[in-house]
Amino acid sequence: SLSDRLGGVFDRLRGRGALTEADVRGAMREVRVALLEADVALPVARDFVDKVTEQAIGHNVLRSVTPGQQVVKIVHDALVAMLGADESALLLDVTPPAVVMMVGLQGSGKTTTTAKIAKRLSTGSLAGRERKKVLMASLDVNRPAAQEQLATLGTQVEVATLPIVAGQQPVEIARRALQAAKLQGYDVLMLDTAGRLHVDQALMDEMKAVADIARPAEILLVVDSLTGQDAVNVAQNFSDQVPLTGVVLTRMDGDARGGAALSMRSVTGKPIKFAGTGEKMDALEAFHPERVAGRILGMGDVVSLVERAAESIQVEDAERMAAKMAKGQFDMNDLRGQLAQMRRMGGLGALAGMMPGMKKAQGALAQAGGDKVLIHMDAMIGSMTVKERGKPELINAKRKIRIAKGSGTTVQEVNKLLKMHQEMSTAMKKIKKMGGLKGMMAMLG
């Protein structure tokens, strides 16, 4: 995943001072590979990386406490921006019937999505939460039983479908559907069109002819999110021929890595209005850019880590602490403060899980009892006298037994705590020698 890749890049840089521009460019090459692996189309990935590189270099990232995570956050935020905000509203505020036309390749999920949207409209869970009177019509005369498929779904979701008349062509069916919708006072007419296995001109011409007659308020391109690199060509072709208003990505319940979403958005410039998440009629969701960005980056929670770190670590505090440590004045009270800070950030396990390249440490921590360790340490320090906290070297065997008893721990654990304190003091002196504090986090690595 990208987090592992970037982990590698930044591991090599760890302990060095600020990042250079070349470091950022190196990281961005990894970002590009990750995007391609997530099936983002090549030109889209290239554009994206160019933009983000500029942003990252111009940004304070080079001097930040956690440059690696900052770079990932910048990439993540740029992805979210590019994927667009939640814009799942359908714009149906026209003289009724408002026509919603579904287009896309065969098997992309048009018919299924037509019924899903119709259900939501008719039950009042879309479009201003008003209950809409909806009529569906299938214009698919190519696939055997395609019209029956929609009729069956219509029965299932309790939405009317246009009666099937054998032998009619798509344009004729569209005309009939419009007339029926007008006469019978439907608010919304959903037109489910035919798809082909590949984009071809006959399909495009048919689609344009239907759009000319029906003047849709919404033309939604339905795309299988598993399409991968091909998604761009599909989007480009449809987008060139009809004025799309939005995109629906289906099969987001599968193992799609989300790349199609980025390509779609970039090529069509239209919002992704819905995500299909299963075959059932309720499996339709608003599109969540955050989730998809996370999927593309495969990076778990790096972003929330950075945000949490920014909240809870006061850089000045940390600098002051480092100076103290360097002078050998880092006592148990200071250690206690550090432990509390780690807990505020979600505990050691959370930290390790969120930080690139720290998956191994997470396993070790889990074995050691995870966050219990932090809580025990706090209890042990709580059982020390004021003198002991200020001067841990006073803690002899007898005192260790007392502290263990007082905190409900063992002498072994007390020993571990003392050892950790000593290691932290040593590490801090080293960090000071290497040219400053690169965050308390470096010590976890």
Nearest-approach distance from CB 110 to Mg ion, in angstroms: 5
Asked if residue 252 belongs to a known ligand binding site, the reply is yes
Q: Is 154 in the site for ligand GDP (CB under 6 A)?
A: no
When binding is defined by CB under 6 A, the residue of 64, 66, 250, 409 that contacts ligand GDP is: 250
Per-residue x/- track, 66-105, Mg ion (CB under 5 A)? ----------------------------------------
For the record, the structure tokens of 337 come out as 């403060």
**Taking contact as CB under 6 A, which single stretch among the options 38-46, 93-101, 247-255, 376-384 is the one that binds ligand GDP?**
247-255
Query: Whole-number minimum distance, CB 172 to Mg ion, in Å?
Result: 18
Binds ligand GDP by CB under 6 A, chosen from 32, 73, 120, 251:
251
CB 309 within 8 Å of CB 302: no
Q: Quick one: CA torsion of 274, 277, 283, 289, rounded to 10 degrees?
A: -40
Contact between 193 and Mg ion by CB under 5 A: the answer reads no
Q: What span, in angstroms and rounded, lies between the C-alpha atoms of 145 and 260?
A: 30
- Cβ-based nearer residue to ligand GDP, 70 or 193: 193
Min CB(129)–ligand GDP separation in Å: 23
In the numeric block, which tokens belong to residue 13?
């840089």
Between the alpha carbon of residue 202 and those of residues 27, 195, 206, 304, the distances in Å are 46, 11, 6, 49
Contact between 147 and ligand GDP (CB under 6 A)?
no
**Residue 250 or 266 having the CB closest to Mg ion:** 250
Gap between the Cα atoms of 260 and 262, Å rounded: 5
**DSSP labels for 85-119?**
---------SSSSEEEEEE--TTSSHHHHHHHHHH
Four-CA torsion 122, 127, 128, 134, nearest 10 degrees:
-30
Under rule CB under 5 A, residue 147 binds Mg ion: no
Nearer of residues 102 and 332 to Mg ion, judged by Cβ: 102
What x-and-dash track marks residues 195-214 binding ligand GDP by CB under 6 A? x-------------------
Q: Is 178 in contact with 195 (CB distance < 8 Å)?
A: no
Residues 177-196 that bind ligand GDP (CB under 6 A): 195
How many chain residues interact with ligand GDP (CB under 6 A)?
17
Contacts 24+ apart (CB under 8 A), 45-51: 47/266, 48/78, 48/79, 48/82, 48/262, 48/266, 51/78
Q: Does 108 interact with Mg ion (rule: CB under 5 A)?
A: no
250 binds, among Mg ion, ligand GDP, none (CB under 5 to 8 A by kind): ligand GDP
Cβ neighbour number for residue 338 with a 10 Å cutoff: 18
Give bridge partners of residue 276 from the DSSP assignment: 284
For 354-406, the DSSP string reads: HSTT-HHHHHHHHHTTTTHHHHHHHHHHHTS-HHHHH-GGG--HHHHHHHHHH
Q: Does 4 bind ligand GDP (CB under 6 A)?
A: no
Is residue 120 part of the contact set for ligand GDP (CB under 6 A)?
no
Q: Which is nearer to Mg ion, 69 or 111 (CB)?
A: 111
419 burial type by CB count under 10 A (0-12 exposed, 13-18 middle, 19+ buried): exposed
Nearest to 41 by CA among 241, 254, 275, 235: 235
Token pair of 156 as six digits: 């299932």
Residue selected from 53, 111, 239, 383 as contacting Mg ion according to rule CB under 5 A: 111
Is 46 annotated as ligand-binding? no
Which is closer to Mg ion, CB of 196 or CB of 402? 196
Pairing label, strands 218-224, 272-276: unpaired
What residues pair up with 252 in beta bridges, in sequence order? none
> If binding is defined by CB under 6 A, does position 111 make contact with ligand GDP?
yes
CB of 291 or CB of 324, closer to ligand GDP: 291
Closest CB to Mg ion among residues 223, 373: 223
User: Which residues does the annotation place in the binding site for GTP?
Assistant: 104-111, 192-196, 250-253
Residues lying near ligand GDP in the complex (CB under 6 A) are found at 104, 106-112, 195, 250-251, 253, 276-279, 283
Cite the annotated binding site by residue number. Answer: 104-111, 192-196, 250-253
| Contact footprint for Mg ion (CB under 5 A) | 110-111
